[in-house]
Amino acid sequence: MPCAVVLQSRHKVEALDLLCQRTAHVTGPATFYFCPPPLWGFTWRRVPARRAGLSACSMGTGTSRLYDTLSKTVGPDPDPGSSPQRTGYLTVDLGLPDSLDPQELLEECRAVLRTRPPRFQRDFVDLRTDLTSSHRPIRVMQWNILAQALGEGKDNFVQCPAEALKWEERKCLILEEILGYQPDILCLQEVDHFFDTFQPLLSRLGYRGTFFPKPWSPCLDVEHNNGPDGCALFFLRDRFELVESTNIRLMALTLKTNQVAIAQTLRCQETGRLFCVAVTHLKARTGWERLRSAQGSDLLRNLCAITRGAEIPLIVCGDFNAEPTEEVYRHFATSSLNLNSAYKLLSSDGQTEPPYTTWKVRASGEARHTLDYIWYSQRALRVESALGLLTEEQIGPNRLPSLHYPSDHLSLVCDFGFREDPAPPEVPARTSDRGSPREPQ
């Protein structure tokens, strides 16, 4: 029977079978809803969809492999040790329970999208100066995927066709983008379908995922929301070992804010090298520059402690909601962590950010900004290639999102390699959680 997962809410309370806080097993299609208060002590509840008066969201046909995957709700990630070894990206052992063939999944997505125009081709720019590396690069993808509740309910994209925002197809465009670029590490913002879409799907493709929601997500103000949006970080279990994970609620002076970050120290299985990856989403809107600056400073302080003052290489992905002229950008560019912005390397002088990473039209007017970045430790890491951005012609006069592209932000993808340095530092395996209601899945 289709089920709906509902949380205690200021709008409604519907509860049958109490589930544990971190797992929910449902045998049919599922719909998730979440509303505070209180956020930090919530409990999952499960009710049959018919009895709750809710409709379960489906994708594809009931017999498709993709539909079957998405109709299964959250369980704990498979044991990391059970992940199959492979030589290429997502060469999944299909003999394992619940594994997915990525090519079959990609074909399922394209079948759902058959009436839409094809996805635009973007090419990688080779930035290597040394071709002697014997190790596979680490591909990192940064993307604000646009929360579904915000896209349909609050963002008011006046030139975007309503059908372009339908989740049944938009999620296929998002998955097509991810599967097309094959990231080893995936950093996402505005994720409000972690538990019913991305975690169950990507875990079956070999990823381990962590989700940290905003304490008071604007998604919760939208009727029929799917839960709070937040940051998510995924990595391939057969390429990396999780050493440490920290969820950070960002501070401004001494006050906790509504923005969050996830930082994870990983060990590369191939090289044994340690490095840290962080994902964040800073405060939006004009007029909040000082708050973004304070949030960025707090994040840098946390990352400095986690990386032992740059002893461990660092990659920071995020929607900073800040142009390169803002103070928070300068904080990162001049930090003692010695960070560089990867996408500057695509410019002719190697010092200029792209002209835009988001381009949209709202009722208030057209907005074209550079807000998204991938920062990296330039002494320890090198950028081997970066994915080019869509051109103005490709984006089109109606801007983003569109039938071609599922978000108002462009994805950023970089291939990283380690510079030849001394042996990596050893750190004890541990997991900490600063103000987080969830551990890594």
CATH for the stretch 116-418: 3.60.10.10
Inter-residue contact 232 to 37 (CB < 8 Å): no
C-alpha torsion sign, points 6, 75, 249, 317: negative
pLDDT digit string (tens) for 402-439?
999 999 999 999 999 999 864 444 454 444 454 443 33
- pTM for the whole thing? 0.78
3-state DSSP assignment of residue 305: helix
pLDDT digit string (tens) for 375-409?
999 999 999 999 999 999 999 999 999 999 999 99
**Percentage above 70 pLDDT, the chain:** 73
Which residues, other chains included, contact 33 with Cβ-Cβ below 8 Å and sequence gap of 6+?
4, 5, 6, 7, 9, 54, 224, 225, 226, 227
- Residue 134 has a pLDDT of 77
- Residue 96 has a pLDDT of 52
Q: How far apart (Å, rounded) are the C-alpha atoms in residues 310 and 246?
A: 17
Please name every residue paired with 369 in a beta bridge, in sequence order, or none if there are none.
Answer: 358
Helix 102-112 to helix 167-181 angle (10° resolution) is 140
pLDDT digit string (tens) for 232-279?
999 999 999 999 999 999 999 899 999 999 999 999 999 999 999 999
- Residue 35 has a pLDDT of 39
Residue 159: closest CA among 414, 382, 364? 364
Q: Which two tokens stand for residue 351?
A: 């010092």
Choose between 293 and 87: higher pLDDT: 293
Choose between 59 and 264: higher pLDDT: 264
Mean predicted confidence (pLDDT) in 343-371: 96
- Residue 126 has a pLDDT of 96
**What are the E-state strand segments in 137-273?**
138-144, 185-191, 207-213, 230-236, 240-252, 255-268
DSSP 106-118: HHHHHHHTTTSPP
- Residue 130 has a pLDDT of 78
- Residue 434 has a pLDDT of 47
Confidence of residue 81 (pLDDT cuts 50, 70, 90): very low
Whether the predicted pLDDT of 179 surpasses 60: yes
